[in-house]
């Protein structure tokens, strides 16, 4: 991950724009918002299973989490849950029950966990579960190895090698204290797990070896970042929003909270943390990428003007260019208007 080097900030009124408002809007219009592609059934299953695991962790007590063995959740597309493996027994109403002993079991699942059949295998640990998976389940099936005591799941996508599993971390117990000083570190963590490696959870590359991005990478990262805060971080007293509207435009992701000043709950103010996301393109010119990043700064300023809430603003540039290089003009402008500029280089094979 590469971050901009902090520079002394000056008043927003001491410097002019590095890109005109008209140019910023022109660049923004070149990237269509929204996506037409639905989630694949594989991604739907990963989402459904991981949400169930998070709820299981929320309902379990500390001793149960500490002693529970690794278990396996498997989805094989059109194959009926009860027919995927021999010796399975149907688990009625599985998706709505979170007091179950899941340790050491393999769960064969339909989409949405509407039907789950299982059997006891008694895995020793996550590695043992992955070995069993590679020997006993068709390679085309997607699987999650749930490790409660580590609050994580190892995701083996269909036809992927068991040595190339993605790591999915689960959040702490809901209600953990939170303030906006934690956002910078959480953005680092999000990048390390979701966007930095080409096999990270976000998967923005259409052809990673050629550094060819998917059609709508901003929207892909935006949805992932919102899900990360809602499902993994789950900050107490925070509302997480994406594609929020103001009279001066639409923003990417923001966190809202009520900052209490006195003894009464009514004494305080709304505080907002804004994260404006830009993806730097490998197939665009240096000028285009520079103006695209600068337009993000202008958007963040416009949202501040429209809503007048206190709180930090971040420009998050997810760097898909072929070379990991600083953008001094962007960093300078961000420092002038007191916006935290962060650039996260996304790696691919042959482009570390």
**H helix runs in the chain, sequence order:** 21-30, 41-59, 62-67, 126-136, 183-190, 217-227, 286-307, 328-336
Predicted pLDDT at 263? 61
Predicted pLDDT at 36? 40
Mean pLDDT over residues 37-42, rounded? 71
pLDDT band at residue 8 using 50, 70 and 90 as cut-offs? very low
The count of other CB atoms within 10 Å of the CB of residue 261 is 9
At the topology level, CATH places domain 41-169 in: YojJ-like (1 (3.40.1700)
| Choice between 252 and 152, residue whose per-residue pLDDT is larger | 152
Mean pLDDT over residues 98-108, rounded? 93
CA-closest candidate to residue 107, choices 141, 135, 139? 141
Predicted confidence (pLDDT) at residue 258 exceeds the cutoff of 80? no
Q: Are 224 and 194 in contact (CB under 8 A)?
A: yes
Q: Rounded to the nearest 5°, which phi and psi values hold at 247?
A: -70, -10
Q: Are 346 and 282 in contact (CB under 8 A)?
A: no
Q: How far apart are CA 80 and CA 116, in angstroms?
A: 10
Query: 216-250 as b/e, with b when 16 or more CB fall inside 10 Å?
Result: bbbbbbbbbbbbbbbbbbbbeebebbbebeeeeee
Per-chain mean pLDDT for the chain: 83
Dig out the tokens for 187 from the structure. Answer: 């953005």
pTM exceeds 0.75:
no
CA-closest candidate to residue 222, choices 106, 314, 321? 314
Residue 76's Cβ-side half-sphere holds a number of Cα atoms within 13 Å equal to 18
Q: Are 274 and 250 in contact (CB under 8 A)?
A: no
pLDDT band at residue 277 using 50, 70 and 90 as cut-offs? very high
The count of other CB atoms within 10 Å of the CB of residue 47 is 14
Q: How far apart are CA 152 and CA 141, in angstroms?
A: 20
The count of other CB atoms within 10 Å of the CB of residue 286 is 11
Predicted pLDDT at 177? 66
| Choice between 40 and 284, residue whose per-residue pLDDT is larger | 284
What is the Cα 58 distance to its own chain's centre?
Answer: 20
pLDDT band at residue 324 using 50, 70 and 90 as cut-offs? very high
Instruction: Give residue limits of the domains in the chain.
Output: 2-33+174-345, 41-169
Q: How far apart are CA 347 and CA 324, in angstroms?
A: 9
List, for residues 152-161, the tens digit of each pLDDT value: 899 999 888 8
Q: How far apart are CA 317 and CA 298, in angstroms?
A: 14
Residue 128's Cβ-side half-sphere holds a number of Cα atoms within 13 Å equal to 13
pLDDT band at residue 11 using 50, 70 and 90 as cut-offs? very low
Mean pLDDT over residues 235-264, rounded? 69
List, for residues 291-308, the tens digit of each pLDDT value: 999 999 999 998 888 877
Q: What is the dihedral angle through the alpha carbons of 316, 341, 304, 285, rounded to the nearest 10 degrees?
A: -70
The sheet with strand 71-75 has its strands ordered as: 89-90, 116-120, 105-109, 71-75, 142-147, 152-156, 166-169
Cα separations (Å) of 139 from 132, 156, 301? 12, 9, 49
Predicted confidence (pLDDT) at residue 38 exceeds the cutoff of 60? no
List, for residues 147-186, the tens digit of each pLDDT value: 999 888 999 998 888 888 888 878 766 555 678 888 999 9
Predicted pLDDT at 18? 52
């Amino acid at each position: 991950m590469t971050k901009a080097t902090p520079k002394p900030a000056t008043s927003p009124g001491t410097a002019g724009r590095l890109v005109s408002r008209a140019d910023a809007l022109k660049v923004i219009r070149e990237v269509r918002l929204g996506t037409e592609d639905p989630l694949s059934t594989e991604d739907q299953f990963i989402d459904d299973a991981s949400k169930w695991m998070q709820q299981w962790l929320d309902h379990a007590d500390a001793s149960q989490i500490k002693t529970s063995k690794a278990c396996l959740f498997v989805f094989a597309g059109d194959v009926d849950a009860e027919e995927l493996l021999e010796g399975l027994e149907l688990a009625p109403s599985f998706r709505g029950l979170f007091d179950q002993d899941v340790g050491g079991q393999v769960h064969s699942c339909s989409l949405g966990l509407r039907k789950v059949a299982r059997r006891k295998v008694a895995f020793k640990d996550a590695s043992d579960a992955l070995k069993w998976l590679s020997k006993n389940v068709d390679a085309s099936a997607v699987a999650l190895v749930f490790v409660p005591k580590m609050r994580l799941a190892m995701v083996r996508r269909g036809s992927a090698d068991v040595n190339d599993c993605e790591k999915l971390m689960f959040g702490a117990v809901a209600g953990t204290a939170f303030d906006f000083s934690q956002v910078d570190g959480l953005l680092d963590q999000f990048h390390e797990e979701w966007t930095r490696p080409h096999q990270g959870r976000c998967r923005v590359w259409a052809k990673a070896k050629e550094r060819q991005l998917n059609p709508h990478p901003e929207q892909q990262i935006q949805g992932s970042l919102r899900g990360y805060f809602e499902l993994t971080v789950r900050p107490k007293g925070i509302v997480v929003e994406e594609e929020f509207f103001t009279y001066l435009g639409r923003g990417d992701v923001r966190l809202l909270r009520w900052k209490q000043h006195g003894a009464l709950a009514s004494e305080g103010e709304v505080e907002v943390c804004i994260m404006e996301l830009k993806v730097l393109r490998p197939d665009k010119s240096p000028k285009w990428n520079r103006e695209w990043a600068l337009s993000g700064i202008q958007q963040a300023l416009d949202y501040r003007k429209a809503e007048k809430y206190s709180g930090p603003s971040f420009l998050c540039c997810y760097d898909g260019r072929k070379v990991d290089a600083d953008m001094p003009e962007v960093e300078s402008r961000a420092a002038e208007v007191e916006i935290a500029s962060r650039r996260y280089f996304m790696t691919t094979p042959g482009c570390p």
